[in-house]
Amino acid sequence: MINKRKYFLLLSVIIFIASPETVYLKDFKGAEYRTKESYLYGRFEVRCKSTYREGVLASFFTYYDGGTGVQDWNEIDIEILGRYGNDVQYNIITPGQMDHVHHQFVNFNPHLDFHTYAFEWTPGYVAWFIDNEEVHRQTGEHIQTLIREQKIMMNIWNPAYVGWIGNWNADALPAFAYYDWVSYYSYVPGSGDYGTDNNFTFSWTDNFDSWDQSRWDKATHTWNGNNCDFIHENAVLQNGMLILCLTDSTNTGYTDLQKPSLLWARANNDNDKIFLSFTEELDEASSENAANYIIPNVTINGAILLQDMKSVELSVSGINPSESYNLIVMNIKDRAEANTILTKAVTIVKAQPLSFPVKINVGGTATMGFLEDQEWSYTKEYGYLDGTSTQWELSIEGTEEDSVYWADRYGLVTYMIRVPVGSYNVKLMFTEKVWSESGVRVFDVYIEGSRLIDDLDIYNQAGFRTAYESNFSNIIVDDEVLEIHFCAEEDNALIDGIVIEQSNTGLLNEPAERIKSFTLEQNFPNPFNGSTIIRYSLPSEGNVKLKIYDLLGSLVFSDNLGLKPPGEYEYKWNAYNNYKNPLSSGVYFYSLEENNRSKVKKLILLN
């Protein structure tokens, strides 16, 4: 990840010429809204919906703008990147422009609906919250360097760093980020009535009914690495919201005159579905009208607008795998229903199914039956979205596959592999080749929305330059893409290799017939010391969340387990709280929530 101002001097790009008009140097125009006042400590909250555009981010953050140089840098970030549909990025930037980045997996798409995001900044910690639940906390020496008063800011912009932000496409403009309100609570330890330990008290809320010029400024600056200028016209107060706009230099403000455009079309492995990707969110009625799609000599049986509102799934019949096909799209409107796509034809990309077992040398070249690493795209069957590869040539203990462990990809967030709907066994391969002490590199790993590795410290598990494997069975894939998500806690996540084997491709159809009710079983063992297993069953697909409470009813641990298909599951709990600290002995209650229902049972921890 590249800090949005790192290694660059902040620049003003406003040039005053003979006339009093302002001339901006960049082709694209963004917006930033910032407080006049600066704040030292507190709880900072916003309710917002970000923009779903690759190459763009929307933010809520605090920043010290005293202008005394990088040696005094203080900044706390919430940044939502448009390239991810399930991730929120947090960062603290400390003197010397040192980044402390964490990617938070979320079981919702932050671009599709409003959510409340917050962070608490105190002398001892910074903690981030989503919808009033703490999801990440940083402590340590770097927190002690956050001593500068900071302004509250929000912006939308298109960074120049493809590896971090993804590929920019100007045809996807305009992009809008919506802010419903912002609240600030001052830090008053021991005398407050809000937030963690009631250490905060309400100061103010702005509902954005109008531009309060006594509180807020609209920015007019940019910096190297930012591909847009901030202008007043693109910070719009309308309909009780602040709307930050990213536009071209002509059609500024909260207006959309751009026609939607088809980016690509791809067939699935069975050639009975075609997936289409568009530049922007679509009108449901026109996008689901099968008559608006033509594939010569192929029957289109139906069209469905998918959840991201930018993708369409066509059900088709009559495709010959050995032939090439073109898709023609017409008469489709965007969400504003004011702009209609120009008739366009694209060649349908054919799937090239992988052979099992799928073995990938992440970060490296083809070796020992492992495939070469590659970047993910609509034409590829697997690949990384981000991260940096490194190559080594050294002895690795505990393996005969040294050449696989020589290469790795670090700083990555997402790896994707196309597979048929079914159940899979997954092996992840790691080795620590840089740090020779525990606690320096720590990260979580999610597979298909479930956190399956918590606080992995490779050195602590295996030692220095020694192979370490994590194996998982019966990973269910119901959308033909197996997604692996990495969330760094300390330093950067990394991986050396991935191996995927089929376990039971018919598993998805079995649970619905076998499981008749939503069940939560008694944990085992119980009482327990160290860790325990919690088993549960779902008769239908649902969003699942596990919560654990103490005897006083205080929430001590929660985990969003994501969208789960029907099936039987087990969850290993290590008796930690949300801050990764071990809990004391006692009686606790564990609650499993699924959609609008829940079940509760009691467990006993003996340390």
360: pLDDT strictly greater than 70:
yes
Q: Are residues 298 and 381 in the same domain?
A: no
Q: Are residues 289 and 189 in the same domain?
A: no
Q: Which pLDDT tens digit goes with each residue over 423-458?
A: 899 999 999 999 999 999 999 999 998 899 999 999
Q: Are residues 46 and 190 in the same domain?
A: yes
Question: What does the pLDDT average to over 41-66?
Answer: 97
Q: Which of 248, 273, 297 is the last residue of a domain?
A: 248
What pLDDT does 304 receive?
92
Q: Are residues 418 and 539 in the same domain?
A: no
Q: How confident is the model at residue 125 (pLDDT cuts 50, 70, 90)?
A: very high
Whole-angstrom distance, CA of residue 382 vs CA of residue 366: 14
The burial of 108, by beta-carbon neighbours within 10 Å (0-12 exposed, 13-18 middle, 19 or more buried), is given as middle
What pLDDT does 87 receive?
96
Whole-angstrom distance, CA of residue 516 vs CA of residue 99: 49
* CATH at 559: 2.60.40.4070
What pLDDT does 560 receive?
80
- Nearest CA-CA partner of 216 in 182, 247, 185: 182
**Would you say residue 234 lies in a domain?**
yes
What pLDDT does 530 receive?
83
Q: Are residues 440 and 533 in the same domain?
A: no
281 is catalytic: no
Question: What does the pLDDT average to over 241-265?
Answer: 96
* CATH at 183: 2.60.120.200
Could you count the other beta carbons within 10 Å of the beta carbon of residue 581?
10
**Would you say residue 2 lies in a domain?**
no
Q: Are residues 128 and 230 in the same domain?
A: yes
Q: Which of 450, 476, 505 is the last residue of a domain?
A: 505
What pLDDT does 514 receive?
57
Could you count the other beta carbons within 10 Å of the beta carbon of residue 352?
10
Candidates 45, 75, 280, 594; catalytic one: 75
- For 165, the token pair is 């932000």
Question: What does the pLDDT average to over 226-233?
Answer: 97
Q: Which pLDDT tens digit goes with each residue over 188-227?
A: 999 999 999 999 999 999 999 999 999 999 999 999 999 9
Q: What is the pTM of this model?
A: 0.82
* Amino acid at position 476, single letter: I
Whole-angstrom distance, CA of residue 114 vs CA of residue 514: 37
Q: Are residues 227 and 127 in the same domain?
A: yes
Q: How confident is the model at residue 48 (pLDDT cuts 50, 70, 90)?
A: very high
Q: Are residues 192 and 292 in the same domain?
A: no
Q: Are residues 421 and 400 in the same domain?
A: yes
**Would you say residue 256 lies in a domain?**
no
* CATH at 457: 2.60.120.430
Whole-angstrom distance, CA of residue 358 vs CA of residue 356: 5
Q: To the nearest whole number, what is the mean pLDDT of the chain?
A: 91
**Would you say residue 157 lies in a domain?**
yes
Q: Quick one: CA dihedral 456, 462, 466, 470, positive or negative? A: negative
**Would you say residue 3 lies in a domain?**
no
Question: What does the pLDDT average to over 267-291?
Answer: 94
419: pLDDT strictly greater than 70:
yes
Q: How confident is the model at residue 478 (pLDDT cuts 50, 70, 90)?
A: confident
Residue 539 lies in domain: 515-605
Candidates 54, 79, 134, 280; catalytic one: 79
**Would you say residue 253 lies in a domain?**
no
Could you count the other beta carbons within 10 Å of the beta carbon of residue 327?
24
Q: Are residues 222 and 309 in the same domain?
A: no
* CATH at 334: 2.60.40.1220
7: pLDDT strictly greater than 50:
no
Q: Are residues 374 and 496 in the same domain?
A: yes
Q: Which pLDDT tens digit goes with each residue over 65-119?
A: 987 789 999 999 999 999 999 999 999 999 999 999 999 999 899 999 999 999 9
Q: Which of 220, 248, 276 is the last residue of a domain?
A: 248
Q: Are residues 519 and 492 in the same domain?
A: no
What pLDDT does 505 receive?
43
Number of domains in the chain: 4
19: pLDDT strictly greater than 60:
no
**More confident of the two residues 338 and 501:** 501
What pLDDT does 559 receive?
86
**Would you say residue 510 lies in a domain?**
no
**Would you say residue 525 lies in a domain?**
yes
What pLDDT does 23 receive?
42
284 is catalytic: no
